[in-house]
Amino acid sequence: MTVHILATGFSVFPGAPENPTAWAMAELARIGWQPHGARLSMRTMPVRFDLWERDYAPLVTALNPDAVIAFGLSAKAKGVTLESTARNAVATDRPDHTGACAQGVCVVDDGTPAVPSALPLIEIERTLHEGGIPVSHSDDAGDYVCNLVFYRLMTLARTGGPKIAGFIHVPYLDTQVARLAAAGHSVPHASTLTEAQLLSAVKITVNACASALHQSSRIVA
């Protein structure tokens, strides 16, 4: 059984002139990496509040993946940050890449306040630790486009969408911080990852999801 996994990153947004998740998606495509026993699709998405309706939901519908892993940048992240909970909240005072702000304080009107991640977080954390990659936990993915996609994705997963889905925040790459500093742009950051660490983290996450999907199919069979 070959399972299909979709991994997504984000492009730049106000205050973030580079995005490590866009780099990771492009680099994995460049080297042609694919997980064992699974097929990986990768996309980089624009940071805009109408992203779900405009781009993300149509993509998931078209590809119909078994798992979706969304990666996003957080300057506050201390290593790879495993998000456990999507919240039905959106800030209305932070513009997206187009300059538009959210029109309401909820992702979905009358939606449930919070939805848990469906990623195999324990396995991902264990393997990240084994690989010497810094990892932390979070139960609050913020109130920007990252959390909006996370909430929408988890709602979809609970209503017949992908079997496995969730969101992971990562910090800037050390190379990005150095390059931006050299160009006169100082970006706040709590930590950084090397390019090798970020690529390993994405591969570890994808492989953990592939393994969980195969395990699930064996149990059902």
Question: Element (H or E) spanning 85, and its range?
Answer: strand 85-87
Over the stretch 72-101, which tens digit does the pLDDT of each residue have? 999 999 999 999 999 999 999 999 999 999
Catalytic residue, candidates 18, 125, 169, 189: 169
CB atoms within 10 A of CB 157: 20
- Cα 116 to Cα 27, 51, 55, 181, 211, distances in angstroms: 29, 21, 23, 37, 20
Range of the domain at 103: 3-220
> Would you say residue 220 has pLDDT above 60?
no
Catalytic residue, candidates 18, 27, 36, 83: 83
Residue 81 has what DSSP assignment? Answer: E
What secondary structure does DSSP assign to 187-206, as a single string? ---S-EE-HHHHHHHHHHHH
* 164 phi/psi in degrees, rounded to 5: -125, 135
What pLDDT is attached to residue 218? 59
The number of distinct structural domains making up the chain is 1
Catalytic residue, candidates 4, 53, 130, 146: 146
Say which CATH number the domain at 172 has: 3.40.630.20
Task: Compute the 3-state secondary structure of the chain and give helix, strand, coil in percent, each to the nearest 5.
Answer: 40, 25, 40
Over the stretch 116-151, which tens digit does the pLDDT of each residue have? 999 999 999 999 999 999 999 999 999 999 999 999
The confidence band for 15, taking pLDDT boundaries of 50, 70 and 90, is very high
CB atoms within 10 A of CB 83: 25
> Would you say residue 38 has pLDDT above 90?
yes
What pLDDT is attached to residue 119? 98
Q: Chain-wide mean pLDDT for the chain?
A: 96
* Structural tokens at position 133: 């990659």
Read off the pTM: 0.96
* Catalytic-residue membership of 146: yes
* Catalytic-residue membership of 189: no
Rounded Cα–Cα distance for residues 28 and 182 (Å): 26
In the block, residue with structure tokens 């500093």: 181
* Structural tokens at position 55: 């781009």
CB-based contacts of 53: which residues, under 8 Å, 6+ apart? Answer: none
Pairing mode, if any, of strands 172-173 and 192-193?
parallel
> Would you say residue 61 has pLDDT above 70?
yes
